[in-house]
Amino acid sequence: MGLLKNISSPADLKALPPEQVDDLAQEIRDFLVDSVSRTGGHLGPNLGVVELTLALHRVFESPQDTLVFDTGHQSYVHKLLTGRHDFSKLKKQGGLSGYPSRAESEHDVVENSHASTSLSWAEGIAKARRLAGQRDRHTVAVIGDGALTGGMAWEAINNIAVDKDLPLVIVVNDNERSYAPTVGGLADHLATLRTTRTYERVLDWGKSALHRTPVVGNAMYETLHGVKKGMKDIVAPQGMFEDLGIKYLGPVDGHDVLAMEAALTRARAFGGPVIVHVLTQKGRGYEPASSDEADQWHGIGKFNPETGLPFEVSGRIWTDEFNDEMVRIGAEREDVVAITAAMMIPVGLDGFAKAYPDRIFDVGIAEQHAVTMASGLAFGGLHPVVAVYATFLNRAFDQLLMDCALHHQGVTFVLDRAGVTGSDGASHNGMWDMTICSIVPGLHLAAPRDGEQVKAQLREALDVDDAPTVIRFPKGDVAEPIAAVRRVGSVDVIHDCEQDPDVLLVGVGAMCPTALGVAEKLEAQGHSVMVVDPRWVLPVSDDLIGLARRAGTVAVIEDNLVSGGVGASVTAALRAADVAQPVHCYGIPKEFLDHASRGQVLEQIGLTSDSVASSLISRLHPHR
């Protein structure tokens, strides 16, 4: 690092001569490609906001002024400019978070990394500052065009628009993508606004003529400026924003630092809410990340920076099992349709979309709308499959409860990245879904233990037409198939014993291998053990209750909150059936978990075979 090594704060950046800023931008891009190639991370989004972030920190005074990044996966440049240069353990235990982190820096504010929240945060911060009399402090929200497809963003805009003197700058980072190309009416409107670049270039030509021949140039510039205003009204009406009462500036070339600084300076001085429409290119400056395969570079593993090829070719993942089975089901059942919230490829619906393009709906980052729309599709005689990350089901709980379950609609929810995901930190662990689903009347939830069960239980879910069904599975390579020794009703026995067991171990989904490891250790201590996979874990089946009645003690192992999870439901079901056996619950504690690998997190919270076995042995023999 040449210039970058001397940038430890925004003050250092402001002191940099303007003619060196472009060189710094190139250094940052080189640094990002080199660093992320070693660790993996969100490369494409950060390459796209280098100049934008430079301009933000040259115009505003962070942390006196507050910068709020929507989702935060584009904050790597911000981290560098605020003195965090050690990316060697990015997203790893003890290293930098992949998102803003208050623990890392006073320059970081919002770290939840769920989209479409920045405008609400920013409005609240700006109003709090105004009430405190801090009128010299500005608030800036940086939100992508993809995140503007989320309804919460428009709820905020609706309120911001009526507050005419609120010192709030909204930077719309328009790169036409979230994970994938942005869809919907807003995307079409922003595409129209982009046509203003044509007459902006003409206006720039008039400005240059003004310097060459002042008299002629001045007349030409004024004429062109008038033409510009007329064209803007006809070709690219920004009325959607300005009719709401929010000043609109742009579009501005997001890779021209001087142009960005000029626009942001104007916005800062305005004194009321301003939208600065910035055009950027995701993956800018690194050909593989800005090519037709750019979506694959949103989040990337370790790769060769020279070729752009991954160092490690991953094996078959859980998502692949769902993807392939959906294509097969689609050929058999014309009533099956699919819905994604701007994550077609990550949740494994790209195969279905390619095979049945008329039966897939990408609603943008709008999980609430997705669930209620699915309820309508079900009412219309179809069976929708809503595929989202488990952590994002939280955002549509009311719709799941009141629109889907209350109306007995047959909708299947497929939750990818369930349980501990690890490296993306607290907000991305899918640890809440079984707890929130446990209170939904009539809901059926399955946790497949391997790829074969993903396929089988998906088909079982699609046969339910009068209630919501949920299939949840983790991130990463799919587990090796675990054959059932026998089936008792709906419950698979995956490890048996000759007599009634001392311990009945209930493995939930991906925790079945852990349960088998616990069984081996307990048997070494002389205990008889049966391990079962309930398959459909909610509601608790009579078959599982019957098996528990014959056991000396019951233990439930799940990668979900231990509070209100499957273990809690099993405990309640046994008590209701007058089964007195003690139940020991092992799951995720009710706390936010720092970023680390999945294995490290499981070790830390005691969800390993060794830890669970030790705990159970101490409970079975409290006086040893």
* Per-residue CA distances from 383 to 35, 328, 436, 601 (Å): 45, 15, 23, 37
Q: Is 286 annotated as a binding residue?
A: yes
Phi, psi of 39 (to 5 degrees): -120, -25
Q: Is 294 annotated as a binding residue?
A: no
Judge whether 455 counts as a catalytic residue.
no
Whether the CB-CB separation of 342 and 386 falls below 8 Å is answered with no
Task: Please list, in sequence order, all residues whose beta carbon lies within 8 angstroms of the beta carbon of residue 285, skipping any fewer than 6 positions away.
Answer: 26, 29, 47, 50
Q: Is 225 annotated as a binding residue?
A: no
Whether the CB-CB separation of 484 and 453 falls below 8 Å is answered with no
Task: Please list, in sequence order, all residues whose beta carbon lies within 8 angstroms of the beta carbon of residue 397, skipping any fewer than 6 positions away.
Answer: 436
Name residue 538's beta-bridge partners: 445
Catalytic residue among 395, 417, 455, 475: 395
Cα–Cα distance measured from residue 88 to residue 85, given in angstroms and rounded to the nearest whole number: 9
Q: Is 175 annotated as a binding residue?
A: yes
Cα-based angle 176, 178, 181 (whole degrees, multiple of 5): 50
Judged by phi (left if over 0) then psi (alpha if -120 to 50, else beta), residue 113 lies in: left
Catalytic residue among 111, 261, 367, 460: 367
Whether the CB-CB separation of 282 and 48 falls below 8 Å is answered with yes
Q: Is 173 annotated as a binding residue?
A: no
Instruction: Locate all alpha helices (DSSP H) within 70-166, ordered by sequence.
Output: 76-81, 118-131, 151-160
Measure CA 248 to chain center: 29
> 171 by DSSP, 3-state: which?
strand
Q: Is 584 annotated as a binding residue?
A: no
- Which is it for the CA torsion 372, 377, 381, 384, positive or negative? negative
Catalytic residue among 177, 247, 282, 475: 282
Q: Is 147 annotated as a binding residue?
A: yes
Whether the CB-CB separation of 248 and 277 falls below 8 Å is answered with yes
Whether the CB-CB separation of 486 and 493 falls below 8 Å is answered with yes
Task: Give buried/exposed letters for 209-220 (b at 16+ CB in 10 A, else e).
Answer: bbeeeeeebeeb
Q: Is 253 annotated as a binding residue?
A: no
Q: Is 236 annotated as a binding residue?
A: no
Reply yes or no: is the peptide bond before residue 468 cis, omega within 30 of 0.
no
Helix axes 214-234, 196-212, angle to 10 degrees: 170
- The pair of structure tokens assigned to 367 is 């999980």
- The pair of structure tokens assigned to 424 is 């993306």
Judge whether 334 counts as a catalytic residue.
no
Instruction: Locate all alpha helices (DSSP H) within 394-469, ordered by sequence.
Output: 397-398, 433-437, 451-462
Residue of 548, 536, 540 whose CA lies nearest to 445: 536
Judge whether 302 counts as a catalytic residue.
no
Torsion of CA 511, 513, 515, 517, to 10 degrees: -140
Cα–Cα distance measured from residue 88 to residue 450, given in angstroms and rounded to the nearest whole number: 34
Q: Is 73 annotated as a binding residue?
A: yes
Whether the CB-CB separation of 90 and 39 falls below 8 Å is answered with yes
Which residues belong to the annotated binding site for Mg(2+)? 145, 175
Give the residue numbers annotated as catalytic, written as ranges: 282, 367, 395
Which residues belong to the annotated binding site? 73, 113-115, 145-147, 175, 286, 367
Which residues belong to the annotated binding site for thiamine diphosphate? 73, 113-115, 146-147, 175, 286, 367
